[in-house]
Amino acid sequence: MPAPPSPARPALRERYERRQDELVRLAAREFARRGYDQTTMQDLAASMGLATGALYHYFGSKEELLAAICDQLMEPLLASARELMAAGGDGDRRLRDLVRLWVAHVVAHRDHMLVFQQERHVIESGERWRAARAARKAFERIVAEALDGAHPRLQPPLPLLALLGMVNHTAQWYRPRGALSPEQIADGYVALLLGAR
Amino acid sequence: MPAPPSPARPALRERYERRQDELVRLAAREFARRGYDQTTMQDLAASMGLATGALYHYFGSKEELLAAICDQLMEPLLASARELMAAGGDGDRRLRDLVRLWVAHVVAHRDHMLVFQQERHVIESGERWRAARAARKAFERIVAEALDGAHPRLQPPLPLLALLGMVNHTAQWYRPRGALSPEQIADGYVALLLGAR
DNA sequence: TCGGAATTCGAACCGACATTCGGATAAGAT
DNA sequence: ATCTTATCCGAATGTCGGTTCGAATTCCGA
């Protein structure tokens, strides 16, 4: 890492972090398209209009970039899901709203999701990825809680696992100009679970 | 490829192909655990009790090995699915049997599935993978057909996409000593689709 | 306008890894 | 027993790509 960023100059600090965020987004795009290992740091730099060295001004390593993608995906999702659950309310509506939120997040972060899924084996093991695994577990617990509060209590593991499969898979087929809106998709999934057809 | 195998000595030919198949299975295991790119040919050879060079007696390249994994996954699945559909019969039962078959295949080939999913970006593009994409499409058409023949006709795209998500995702969580048998899982998925809870 | 930090450059380093190759060993055929 | 083919060995090769580094260049604050 050539030069640690800005120590306590808040204006610069903020610009730096905004740039970082944008670079993470671009990296997610490239990784999703070509694969993490297939994408060289020079590819990345080129697609960002930078020289290779400049990348290391923002990220200490390629792996750190991958971790940043995970964070950018999971942190806001967890935050808004927690907020929604804390608000309380009717069980079925809460489940519906959670799935809507979730699907919207997934389609807005398709690239992140695809990278996450492709690099499953990296995240599944290793000390370094403990936090990522914990975040996923935490979110799954929230979904389980919402399912348990639904009208016919959806308790056994299968509904949860089915829902995880459906929603995660959405990243693989959703297209912005497709026939279904994220909301319609979410409501369709919930209808399946609740048995309303 | 050091020496093309056996030209027309059927006994040897068969032994060769059996070994090949076994090596593909082992490779799938390694790739699923460590990732395709992270697994070196020397890792593979070691885990098979071979020297690196010997691998090239059976496969022309690492990429060819990956293609072999795809084939070993898709060919028997397509074959048995086609057989089942050709047999005809009641719509709901046919859907149920297809999903049972499918889930059983997925859990019996978890490693293949995980590799397939991890290397999505490879398969999604490139002339070389046209056949793999076609096989997947063909299978999806079969599932769509079965859905269309079910009791409440499950036509719009969502049920198909939901089912694909659920079943594919099964590879990520299924454990042989888990609480649910492949058959129970399959029936659970079908129950969701058919609205029987 | 000036000084120093922030940002960027891009060539060079260096380890890793797919693939090759020439030869050794084993196994089947005659 | 001998010849031939299959199978396997494992060191060497050549490329590729993540990372480093010292030097430009740009930007901000004063």
Residue-wise pLDDT for A151-180, tens only, equals: 888 878 999 999 999 999 999 999 999 999
A51-60, A101-110, A151-160, B77-86: range with lowest mean pLDDT: A151-160
Contact with chain B for residue A186, Cβ under 8 A: no
For the segment B165-172, the average pLDDT, to the nearest whole number, is 98
Contact with chain A for residue B2, Cβ under 8 A: no
Q: How far is CA A168 from CA A22, A127, A158, B135, B164, in A?
A: 24, 24, 15, 22, 11
pLDDT at A197 over 70: no
Confirm if A43 and A126 have CB atoms less than 8 A apart: no
Confirm if B28 and B111 have CB atoms less than 8 A apart: yes
Looking across all nucleic acid strands, the nucleotide with the smallest C1' to CA distance from residue B48 is D8
**Nearest residue on chain B to A123, judged by CA atoms?**
B34
| Per-residue pLDDT, B8 | 72
CA distance A94 to B61: 52
Interface of B with A in 99-118 (CB under 8 A): 114, 117-118
| Per-residue pLDDT, A11 | 85
| Per-residue pLDDT, A10 | 81
Interval A96-110: pLDDT, tens: 999 999 999 999 999
| Per-residue pLDDT, B22 | 98
Question: Å between A13 CA and C9 C1'?
Answer: 22
CB neighbour class for B159 (10 Å; exposed up to 12, middle 13-18, buried from 19): buried
Question: Å between A150 CA and D21 C1'?
Answer: 59
pLDDT at B135 over 70: yes
Closest residue (CA) to C1' of nucleotide D5 is B6
Q: What are the residues whose beta carbons fall under 8 Å from the beta carbon of B62, sequence distance 6 or more?
A: B41
- B4: confidence class by pLDDT, cuts 50, 70, 90: low
Looking across all nucleic acid strands, the nucleotide with the smallest C1' to CA distance from residue A50 is C8
Q: What is the value of pTM for the model shown?
A: 0.95
In the structure encoding, which two tokens stand for residue B119, read together? 């290397």
| Per-residue pLDDT, A6 | 67
